[in-house]
Structure 1
């Protein structure tokens, strides 16, 4: 036996019509989907190009020499294990992944350059932890980035060579 429609009830087809035209997806959702696809590609073992800035991270680029190793030791002590750092042995650079928006606040530094939007970086697969190609010197962890203030202080006290400034004007390597 069917239930009669009571007075004032709106059939489903009318209710859907009253809802109006479907809205476009929120632009943040498209960005989130791209971020998820990118991070899954890195996790699956692929080199993956990622936009800097946004909600992920910016990057501080320094030389990868002996002084940079000292900076890394300082950051290990500050953080109880440094946040994510990529070494590019071919170029002799370290890429320190720092909080998004850092590039907008980064004052010029004689031994480091900070890049954010609109640049990109190629992230190595999460399981690549040794050369010859760019690799995770300090693996990426979902719960941390390299804190800007202590990094800047360490870079000032222990300035890594070579400085990246001249090279960045001619080539950006994994960063564009």
Structure 2
């Protein structure tokens, strides 16, 4: 079950292709990726949508207005994001359903846009598969 949350108020979301994240963290294993994402992003909230091969990194509202890299798209005002329940932190009986790789630990604790950009750049070059 997902809740549709309007972006641009409490947070925006940077959408990253699996390929970018897995190259950046050096692994496609979900446990390893989660640990390394926590290091890159200071334990800020990240969810994974395995069905569509995307990660969503939550960043401060307004980030979409100044985001300027073709490696990843920042979604903001006017977009709704489907987010899983807070307790869904691993791909259990529904392996294609979104889950939190790094859940939100407290209100307002979001990832820093510069850290997300560094992660995207560390993921390597841009290919047609990478840009969503």
TM-score by length of 2: 0.76
Q: CA deviation at 1:154?
A: 2.3
- Show the counterpart of 1:5: none
Count of paired positions: 117
Structure 1 partner of 2:113: 148
Decide which of 21, 38, 63 is 1:76's aligned counterpart. 38
SS at match of 2:57: strand
By how many angstroms is 1:77 displaced? 2.4
Contact 1:75 1:150 in 2 (8 A): no
> Structure 2: where are the runs of 5+ without partners?
27-32
In structure 1, the gaps of 5 or more residues are 1-45, 166-176
Contact residue 100 and residue 116 of structure 1 kept, 8 A: yes
Report how far residue 68 of structure 1 moved: 4.7
User: 8 Å contact 2:88–2:99 — kept in the other structure?
Assistant: yes
**Ranges of 4+ aligned residues in structure 1 off by more than 6 Å:** none
Aligned residues of 1:49 and 1:120 also touching (Cα < 8 A)? yes
Cα separation, partners in 2 of 1:72 and 1:164, compared to 1, 3 Å: farther
Larger Rg: 1
CA shift, 1:75, in A, is 4.6
Matched, 1:47 2:7: no
TM-score (norm 1): 0.59
1:57 shift after superposition: 0.3
- Structure with higher RCO (Cα < 8 A, 6+ apart): 2
1:124 partnered with 2:84: yes
User: Higher strand proportion, which one?
Assistant: 2
Q: 2:98 aligns with which of 110, 134, 150?
A: 134
